[in-house]
Each structure stands twice: as C-alpha cells, then as structure tokens.
Amino acid sequence: MPTATSMTPTSTSDSALLACGRLRARIEAIHPEIDGGRFPAKRELGDVLVVQVDLVADGHDILAGAAHFRHEGATEPRSVPLTPLVNDRWQGSTSLEKLGTMLFSITAWVDEFATWRRGFERKIEAGQDVAVDILSGAALLEAAAARAAGPEKAHLEGVASSLQDKAGTLDEKCRLALDPALVPVVSRLPDPEKVTCLGREVPVTVDPVRARFSAWYEMFPRSCGKGGKHGTFRDAEEWLPYVAGMGFDVLYLPPIHPIGRSHRKGRNNSTTCEKGDPGSCWAIGAREGGHKDVHPELGTLDDFRHFVEKAREHGLAVALDIALQASPDHPYVKEHPEWFRARPDGTIQYAENPPKKYQDIYPFDFEGEAWQSLWQELLSIFLFWAEQGVRVFRVDNPHTKPIAFWEWCLTRVKKTHPDAIFLAEAFTRPKLMYALAKVGFSQSYTYFTWRTTRSELTTYLTEVTRGEVAEVFRPNLWPNTPDILPEHLQFGGSGAFASRLVLAATLSSSYGVYGPAYELMEHEARPGSEEYIDNEKYELKTWDVDRPDSLQELMRRVNRIRKENPALHHNRTLVFHKTDNPSLLCYSKTSSTRDNAVLVVVNLDPHHPQRGAIELDLAALGVPDDSPFQVHDQIGDARFLWRGSRCTVELDPAVMPAHVFRVLRRVRREQDFEYFL
C-alpha cells in the first residue's frame, strides 16, 4: 500500500499544476481534524480511532483509499484500506493501544482495475465482444505485478499471462478476470504517480481512560488533624477509605507547599492575620521552600510519597494543584526578581482584580526579559511532582497565563509522562476555555456551576458534547468549589444538593465535588456573595462526616451507578428528551456497543414536587416503537414497565429529586421481567 508521502502541490503555478495533473482523487472533510491539523483531537487508551474523509473525483470511476496510522516515534505507518459509507464518505479505523500521540494520513486514487472490472462485467451481461477488453485487464494486472512482491507478484503475473494466452478459451479467461479475490490485491498496488496524498499527518492525543471518565473529590489535608490541630499527610491517609468508599477515583489536594507570611490572609479573606491563622495555601512560598517543597506541618516529601502510594492502594489517583504564582516570601523573589513585574517605584506588582487586591500573591511575568528561564523553571515544577508519583494536575487559573506557555509546557510534560492528565480551572470565556483544551488540557471546569434551568442546561451541555468542541474539550462538572458556593446551594436545601450531584455525575463522564462541604450540605455564605463563610481556604476545619444528614450514601450510590453503566462513561451519546414541565429535565446516554442505556429525569425545583409527561426518543434508547420495555431506577430500586414514547413522572425533592433509570429491553415474554436485559 502506498506510503503517506506528499505529492500534493503547494502552489498554483503552472509547474505545480502540471505535477498534479494525473492526480484525480481529492481528499476533503477530514475527521477528526482540529484547525487543519494544528491541534490534536482527543481519544483514550483502548478506544477505536475512526477516521472519516470525503473522497471525490471526476467522472464515474471507482475510487480507493487508505488511512495510514503511526504512533509518534514509530517509523513505518500501519495502512488500513478505507471502506465506503454513503455520499462519497469513507472510513478507516485502528485500535489505540499506546498512550501518546497517534498520527494518521490519507491517500486516495482511482482504482483502475476495479473500474475496468465493472465495465467488463456489464459488457459480458450485454453480450458484447470483450476480447480486446481482456487484454486491457491483463495490462493492468501486469502493471500491478510490477509493483508487487512475493506470492502476490507471481499470482498476478500468472493471471495476466493466462489472459494473454491465445490458446485459452474466452470463458476461462472471463472466469479468471472476474475472480473477486483479484480486486483487493490490485487495489493495494496503485500507480504511485496517480496516488493523491494528504501530504501531512493529523495528530490525535491518546490519554488514559481517566481523562474521559473520572470522579474527583477535593479535600484539604491540613483539615484532617484531630482536636483542631494542623493535619498531616499521615492524618490524611486515615481519610482514604472514606473517600474511596464513596466511589471516587481522583483525590484532589489544594497546594501543599510552604505558605508565605507576608500579607498573610486571615479568616474569611481578612487582610488582618491573627496568630495561628494558617493562611491561604495558594500564597505559595516561604523560607521553608517553594513549589518543589512540602509545608512542614503537613510532613515531609517522603510522607507525601507514602500518601500517594497509599491512595493508589485504595484505587485513588492523587491530583495536585499547581498554582503558578508566588508569595512575597517565595525563594524565587530573592533569587530571581527578574521573573516578576516591577512597578515604577521598584516594588513587585502583586495580584489585583480591581477593586480586589491580593497582596499575598505575586504573579509571574511570563513575557518579561527573562521569560525563557522562567518557563523552564515552571516546566520543572510539573516534572518534579510527576517524579514523586503524581500524574494528575489541577491547574489554577490557566487562562491568566499565556496560551503559548501552556502549549509548550504541557507538550513537554506529556512527552516524558504520556499518562499525565491536566484539569484546567478556567471559569472564563468559552473560546478561551476551548483554546486551552486545544493546547493540551485534558479536562476543564465549566459553566455548569451556574446553569440551573432546563433551557440553560440543555443548551450548554449540547454545546460542549457536540461537534469539534467535543473532539478537544472534556467537561468536568463541579457543583461547588472552595471558591464558589452558588446561590441555588445556599437556599435550595437537600433537594438542590442531591439534584446537582446527580446532574453533574450523569450529564458528564467526569465530575467533582469539594468535600466534605458538599456531602454535609454546607450552605452558609458571606452575605451578598458566592463564597463560603468561614472558608476552609483561610482556616482549619473540623468535619463530622458521620452526621446522619450526610449525602455520602447518595454519593456512594451515584458513583456505583456510574461505574456499572458504560453509557455514563462518555458524553457523545447524550440526548435530551422533551418534557411538558420546564422543571423536569430528561436525558439519556447509551454505551458505544448500544447494550447499555441510561435515562435520567431530574426535578430542577428543589422546593416542590413536580409532575410531567416525557416524550421519549425511543430510537436514541434503542427501543423499538410500541415495544414494552422496563426501566429500573438505580437510586430507589423501583421498576416500571412502559410502552411507547410517552410516560409520566413525578419527583418530590424532599424524598429524591431524580430518577436514574437503566433501560431494560424485552427479549422474551412481556410478562416475564426476568427476561429483560
């Protein structure tokens, strides 16, 4: 099969046009391809990468094509014939069995032998003289044989010789020429001067499955101490069974580094720090060290490595927060003042978001005179923690740093650690979020936190799970964060906490919560704000996770439902179903093999029971029209037998604001529930 080398002209000069004059096939509408191949689409280990293209040519000749797949670092591609779909659309695929970057290219050509064979058959059917046509076919076989090797070469030469043998009968020659086994062999051996090549390789990033399907739990290890004492990593290890027992698989820690003392923030973000106030852990750096050091009250670097290993034993990956900023006490400030922006009076510019001032944080100057040495040092922070066993990073405010830096930095981290995952904490403009995804962020925070109505949720989730956006942007839905206590959680009660949990966990294949604040339904905010009162960012907390009103059992059940239903492991099949009550949101997902379907109905009103009719898209659920089917509520364990597309649902938020149905299609007798799959 031809290799994917370029023969496509790069200009419209006469010489270029003449050079491509024999290239009749055209390659168009490549998928997946992001910005003309400038950025990679995203897939996960174990996926099947399906490539689709349009192949067109003048006239009615038969076309053929091939996709050429090469893992970055390999020298020779693996070539796969393209198969036709409809309307000049073609497809080829390969399994993704290695992390890193998969590259693919496309070649296409007019299949002269297949075209000849089709015409030859029609002439025979019409009773026409085909003696000369047999010789034309023999010539095509001879040309293909010249490009073949081994047994194929000998076989093609033998058939061509038999077709040219004057002693052979016409019937025998026709039988040989129409042997269907010849077509795929000759199709793989086109004239290289007539093969159109894409002329470039299109990249696809192959990430760990956790980049697509993950449940995150955020926890401050310093609040794991007993008796109000500052917690250590050893204390935090005692929480691992609790977090893992709820079914989470990523444990996210805010920054674990030494905290600055200059302008240290007090409780509730006060500019006055009282004795014993631990400060914001995002004000990184003190005399004890900086971004590559551990806060001494948490323990040592060995303690942290031990914590990472213990978490792994519980099925948890530790995600570390990387905040590229420094406190005034950070060693960088004295050792490398050139990495910061100086004001006209010679002082270093602290962070501001007028009228807010963050005197405890100095931003880095990413475009200053010393930008190259700064970038190298910041890259080394990621590599350092990767060497300590961390492969998941939550990156603080990446949208306030140059996109070019992230493309450079994340590419280099992934070269060394292709299993690395990066979550962008980027509550910012949509296209900026998408740009960060294109340059390497594996997942991103989203606007879900503030989308509450049926219309808002339907519109937004459709946007981030369809088209080119879905090829690069993996949404990670968070109902709350240490920075954000949205209004609906402040006033919605347990119904709001339960419904937002179910929405986040089932609308997206990745979601997260800031706990234990979430399961304990902490809802007190600073007046007139979306910030927690007595915020854990600025003080140690004591959490009673055994409180009887905790949502931990619901979390455990929801995460179990996610793991047991492959339909919830991805977002591409998300379909919204119509309801006649705007307070009811209904949607479904199906697995890639179509043998698992989940239907979710959520009451968006946290205060009142809501009832309404649902108009189901049965085709999306894989249910035949007017066929009975059973739905099994995975939360409440109730079962219902439905028929047709219309059904009625009632949900009381005081009891449970959501149904998560597994759709069970009937395979035998309608009356026998046990025969549903």
Catalytic (active-site) positions? 396, 425
Distance between CA atoms of residues 33 and 30, nearest Å: 6
Which residue type, as a one-letter code, is found at position 232?
T
Which residue type, as a one-letter code, is found at position 516?
P
Helix (H) or strand (E) holding 495: helix 493-507
In contact, 584 and 651? CB cutoff 8 Å: yes
In contact, 362 and 348? CB cutoff 8 Å: yes
| Three-state DSSP class for residue 388 | coil
Cα separations in angstroms, 2 against 81, 194, 640 = 11, 11, 57
User: What is the residue-wise DSSP string for 601-640?
Assistant: EEE--SSS-EEEEEE--HHHHT--TT-EEEEEETTT--EE
Helix (H) or strand (E) holding 321: strand 317-322
> Would you state the structure tokens that stand for residue 662, as one six-digit string?
């597994």
Residue with tokens 């270029």: 16
Of the candidates 293, 443, 291, which has an alpha carbon nearest to the alpha carbon of residue 374? 291
Cα dihedral sign for 464, 465, 471, 472?
Answer: positive
| Three-state DSSP class for residue 569 | helix
> Would you state the structure tokens that stand for residue 376, as one six-digit string?
């190298």
Q: Report the 10 Å Cβ neighbour count for 652.
A: 13
| Spacing of C-alpha 85 from chain mean position | 26
